[in-house]
Chain A
């Protein structure tokens, strides 16, 4: 029999489009418009999972986002989706779903059968076990629990789907497209404001969908359809469905929402992005997020077949699926009677209404009695029975103080128990924005406390449960929000006339006691449990225990009992748990505090958060003008790139079959013996000019500036106010008040911004203009004994002789016909020209230099060779020899510092601690083993001993195999290093070996500096 619980007619499903699906290995059918949950209910399937801790059978509790039980595993690798809420999974043809937390299947769960789980894990189990024995925890309990707990499987393979983002600015964003949200959006949109209306459901309408009541004399569905129609004609209105507002940020003005684009179409991909993350920035936000019906805490309240009253009604009215045949309603309020009346009208037999109120009255009570439904007044459900599905409930009389129950005991057979303990406004987003909620005795729920700068809340989210009132207030809120954004005059049309239901004339029943008040025997079976949090199997007794152990703060109780954790974040348990704790302390609900609520409202897949920032689009890749050339060189021999900041720089250019070591050795030799060519375009470059530029640079640089003549270049050091070196580079004086500065590749942006900070905040009187010209100039560093010979024919107008173009000067002129600035600076110790040409001519210059130079041995080299060459000379690399705690003096650069004039860092360096003789200073290391490269960062010790911690003298900062020196060289920072020259120290290596090293001067090549002029 197909879909035995499906009604012949009614509901918003398409009976002409049947869909096949598989649940727990068994085939079923449903219809387009179903959720997985409604299709399962139509097939009479209620047992959909096992609970987390006790592996108890669990059924579908709700019809929405609050679902704690019906978590399913969807799809196949690599499109596995763990922990999807069956209540929000759109049914598609071929859907494959499995329950979670059970093995081998949901009916025969091994762990439940063994009865293993329950006694193992009382409240606070994790903490107590962990504290008792770390060893036991790590090796016994944790692996056991992890295997048993499950909660779905995540895919092992990379996510094959595409996810996208979109930022949008709106005047008004309305979250929730139920009656209140729709009304607010209409009122705002009619003013011409830019409006977005978003809803997690498949269509707008919310609680009105499939409703029996009328608006302005028409069925509710018609009012919804007309509203949708009107919005669709307004050009500045965006209506998003299947879109869940995950969080509200930035003082409540940015809604971040996930739109599910294809999960309702396919489980195989291929339909474009699977989901879109929306960043909706709005002048005003209106929250119409509705309310969740609250379960009642009573013994054995967790069996399949126990369902929220409104959910049962939704399944019958919206989906045409009956959640049972014979039902009992357990309620604390009259509103839930509507569910019983509607369900009875759809053919379900209402065996009884168990109303906790001693004297319920009102139109719905009268109507129920007129229908012949028996109402047990002042009663409560005290136990339930049924192995895999509810078979009967037991009811007893509540004592007047509600603390105990008393005989007579009555058993009612039924397969559906609808419960309603009142309504909890959904204020998650309001609380994300910093809003508070407080107990509202009239509404019997925690409602938002209005405050300045907080979003507007309308409808049942604000505790306004009467439909007419909700519509009226929502229309006003929409119009006012638009007016605040500059649209309309704030007036709204009048609300439609509504057939009104009973007000929320309920009572509070927080917990049905499991203690009989008449001294009789205990109710139910021994060990029966009253669940507060169904997903985490947290019971009222667990909260009692938490209280007994002194955990009276709700956040502590949450962590101790797990109430409110999990994928549902306690949507159905938070209020009950908080009030039960408050009552344990002896207070009422008004004293209860809710735990903090944080985004996301429902789980979001990581793919959505990442969007397209995956793979090569993860981060910006910066390229010099020569990138294509480097890649082409790669084709000839395999250029290997390395990331330097966001830049991708050639590390070395191996010829076919060459290892990195051999390629670097070849490049090093060429640069020392003939000539090397490096793309140094990534160097940071700053143009500094203005009447006060000399004064400014004198304050910024630790090295002298004013004495630098036009046409000359100087090495410069930049320190922070603490005296530590942060950057180095060169200053070239172009004109009297015009300088060209260079920074390290990695610090370019930081250094410019740091200079701007001083200029703009501390010295706004200085007339200086700073401009980044990093990408204005491509830089090729031509270095080596043959550099002059190679350059000369390309720069006929430039006298390259030592006399005319000495070291640390710069000249302007044409190189290869390209206007150029040539700097005679050297980072290798060899004769070197850094040729700057407009960025676009970088490739042309490169080709011209190689055309002339290749026959003379000119060899392109990458960053690795650059590092070796500079280390051979003992030139420091900021970020390698420095780490923010190293001064210029520590690096042996003290002689370059200005002695008289003040500069940033001068006072910092003068601090007593920085004068200590035993500071770590730069030295060279000579390894005993000439081939032993020391890992950078390796500690240096005097000798190994048993002392712990081992006294450390310093660390290795750089170490390379130097082909020219013929052995490994290293630089290091060593305590009192200058006094240790000649000493033998030890470097512990990862494999337990010790490397013996001798402290030497940190210059390994051409210590006299004879080579720099060629």
Chain B
């Protein structure tokens, strides 16, 4: 059972969280052509290594946050600072 560091509540069990996937910048819809929009919708870098990704503490404080996780080791490399510690 992995533990995910919520920036507000601290490390909590994975089961309290919901995964939001890799952070993909949303292109401006108007000028974006089909290829650009298609890439935004469907193409993910799927790295073996560090990935910036979104999580939400769905069964806790309901806040979304971004962290960096090594997809090969599941180690969380860059944790958002907790308010209490900041």
Contact = CB atoms under 8 A, between A and B. Distances in A.
Chains A and B directly touch (beta carbon < 8 Å): yes
Interface stretch (A74-82, A249-257, A521-529, A710-718): A249-257
B85 interface: no
Interface string B12-29: 000000101000001001
Contact of A721 (B1, B41, B63, B74): B41
A912 interface: yes
A128 interface: no
Nearest to B29: A907
A249 B1 contact: yes
A906 B56 contact: no
Contact of B3 (A253, A722, A760): A253
Nearest to B40: A721
A281 B3 contact: yes
Contact of B58 (A279, A753, A761): A753
Interface in A861-904: 902
A762 B75 CA distance: 26
Contact of B54 (A761, A908, A911): A761
Contacts of B1: 249-250, 254, 256, 279
Interface string A940-973: 0000000000000000000000000000000000
A908 B37 contact: yes
B73 interface: yes
A434 interface: yes
Contacts of B73: 434
Nearest to A902: B29
Contacts of B37: 907-908, 911
A453 interface: yes
A736 interface: no
B30 interface: yes
Contacts of B18: 753
A761 B37 CA distance: 19
Contacts of B40: 721
Given A721-B26, A722-B41, A762-B26, A756 B64 contact: yes
Interface string B31-51: 010100110110000000000
B2 interface: yes
Interface string A418-449: 00000000000000001000000000000000
B63 A757 contact: no
A760 B32 contact: no
A757 B62 contact: no
A250 B20 contact: no
Contact of B62 (A250, A281, A756): A756
Majority SS at the chain A contact face: mixed
Contacts of B20: 757, 761
A751 to B, nearest CB: 13
A904 to B, nearest CB: 9
Nearest to A722: B41
A483 B62 CA distance: 34
Nearest to A721: B41
Interface string B55-68: 01010001110100
Contacts of A906: 29
Contacts of A762: 26
Contacts of A453: 75
A721 B40 CA distance: 9
B27 to A, nearest CB: 9
Given A251-B75, A721-B26, A908-B37, A757 B64 contact: yes
Contact of B63 (A254, A760, A912): A760
Given A762-B26, A902-B29, A902-B30, A757 B54 contact: yes
Contacts of A250: 1-3
A722 B41 CA distance: 7
Given A761-B54, A761-B64, A902-B29, A908 B75 contact: no
B64 A760 contact: yes
Contacts of A254: 1, 3
Nearest to A757: B64
A253 B56 CA distance: 22
A618 to B, nearest CB: 16
A449 to B, nearest CB: 15
A249 B15 CA distance: 14
Contacts of A912: 34
Interface in A245-270: 249-251, 253-254, 256
A879 B26 CA distance: 27
Contacts of A760: 63-64
A760 B55 CA distance: 12
A911 B3 contact: no
Contacts of B26: 721, 762
B14 to A, nearest CB: 8
Nearest to A247: B1
A907 B40 CA distance: 11
A253 to B, nearest CB: 7
A75 to B, nearest CB: 31
Nearest to B73: A434
Contact of B32 (A253, A256, A279, A907): A907
A757 B74 CA distance: 23
Contacts of B63: 760
Nearest to B14: A250
B2 to A, nearest CB: 5
Nearest to A720: B41
A753 B56 contact: yes
Nearest to B58: A753
Nearest to B54: A761
Interface string A757-776: 10011100000000000000
B61 to A, nearest CB: 11
Nearest to B66: A761
Contact of A911 (B30, B34, B64, B74): B34
Given A722-B41, A911-B34, A911-B38, A757 B3 contact: no
A911 B34 CA distance: 6
Nearest to B27: A907
Contacts of B56: 753, 756-757
B23 to A, nearest CB: 8
A250 B15 CA distance: 13
Contacts of A256: 1
A249 to B, nearest CB: 5
Nearest to B18: A753
A722 B74 CA distance: 29
A882 to B, nearest CB: 17
Nearest to B2: A250
A930 to B, nearest CB: 44
A251 B38 CA distance: 36
A703 B72 CA distance: 42
Nearest to B41: A722
B43 to A, nearest CB: 13
Contacts of A721: 26, 40-41
Q: Which of B18, B29, B32 has the most CB of A within 10 A?
A: B29
A1011 to B, nearest CB: 40
Contacts of B62: 753, 756
Contacts of A722: 41
A798 to B, nearest CB: 36
Nearest to A256: B1
Contacts of B38: 911
From B3, B64, B75, residue with most partner A Cβ within 10 Å: B64
Given A251-B75, A761-B66, A911-B38, 7 more contacts: A256-B1, A721-B40, A722-B41, A753-B56, A756-B62, A902-B29, A912-B34
9 contacts: A249-B2, A254-B1, A453-B75, A721-B40, A756-B64, A757-B56, A761-B66, A902-B30, A911-B34
Interface of A: 249-251, 253-254, 256, 279, 281, 434, 453, 721-722, 753, 756-757, 760-762, 902, 906-908, 911-912
Closest 10 CB pairs of A and B: A907-B29, A760-B64, A250-B2, A722-B41, A761-B64, A250-B3, A911-B34, A249-B1, A254-B1, A757-B64
Interface of B: 1-3, 18, 20, 26, 29-30, 32, 34, 37-38, 40-41, 54, 56, 58, 62-64, 66, 73-75
